[in-house]
């Protein structure tokens, strides 16, 4: 069963997504992650969402052509119109019985927009588990700091 406020998509990596040595381009994976973040935030908010920020992108493992990739996006924080989605990518080698391994992770901040393209208030997120509460608190502090710094950007 899918976790609450989370979605997952899976696909097999193709040669057109890779370099001549078979390594999948980082940008290909980031595009998948952005799509998943958008889908998770759009499903949560029932609104059009755009990407405002990407933090803490980590490339932990190489991904090769033929890998079975699963990308999961989970809403971990909601402000007024902003929605932070924790995105992780797992890869599996289907030629073995090995377990999926985490290959990438990142945090995407999406902003819900109304029909005029202005930021739109979305329903509050009530974190339930201890892990949800911790992720919410970390994100809340980060977004408060970002707002404080915004005037200098």
Number of residues that bind ligand COA (CB under 6 A): 14
Closest CA relative to residue 136, chosen from 127, 144, 145: 127
Q: For ligand COA, which residue has the nearest CB? A: 79
Write down the residue that tokens 């109304």 correspond to.
114
Residue 52 binds ligand COA (CB under 6 A): yes
Residue 45 binds ligand COA (CB under 6 A): no
Sign for the CA dihedral angle at 131, 2, 18, 22 comes to positive
Which runs of E-coded beta strand occur in 79-124?
82-92, 101-113
Residue 17 binds ligand COA (CB under 6 A): no
The residue (of 43 and 53) whose beta carbon lies closer to ligand COA is: 53
CB 143 → ligand COA: shortest distance, Å? Answer: 6
Write down the residue that tokens 């940008």 correspond to.
27
Residue 147 binds ligand COA (CB under 6 A): yes
Closest CA relative to residue 136, chosen from 148, 123, 126, 146: 126
- Helices in the chain by DSSP H: which ranges? 26-45, 130-149
Residue 80 binds ligand COA (CB under 6 A): yes
Build a one-symbol-per-residue string for 108-127: x at contacts with ligand COA by CB under 6 A, - elsewhere. Answer: -x-x-------x--------
The residue (of 102 and 147) whose beta carbon lies closer to ligand COA is: 147
Question: How far is the C-alpha of 88 from the C-alpha of 83, rounded, in Å?
Answer: 16
Residues that bind ligand COA (CB under 6 A): 50-53, 79-82, 109, 111, 119, 143, 146-147
């Amino acid at each position: 069963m899918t976790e609450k406020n989370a979605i997952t998509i899976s696909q097999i990596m193709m040669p057109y997504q890779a370099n001549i040595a078979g390594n999948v381009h980082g940008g290909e994976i980031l595009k998948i992650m952005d799509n998943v973040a958008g889908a998770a935030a759009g499903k949560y908010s029932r609104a059009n969402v755009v990407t405002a920020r990407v933090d803490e992108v980590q490339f932990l493992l190489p991904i090769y052509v033929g890998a079975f990739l699963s990308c999961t996006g989970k809403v971990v924080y909601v402000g007024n119109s902003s929605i932070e989605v924790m995105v992780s990518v797992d890869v599996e080698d289907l030629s073995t019985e090995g377990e999926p391994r985490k290959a990438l992770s990142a945090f995407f901040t999406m902003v819900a927009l109304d029909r005029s393209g202005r930021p739109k208030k979305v329903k509050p997120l009530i974190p339930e588990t201890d892990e949800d509460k911790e992720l919410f608190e970390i994100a809340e502090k980060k977004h408060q700091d970002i707002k404080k710094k915004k005037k200098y950007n």
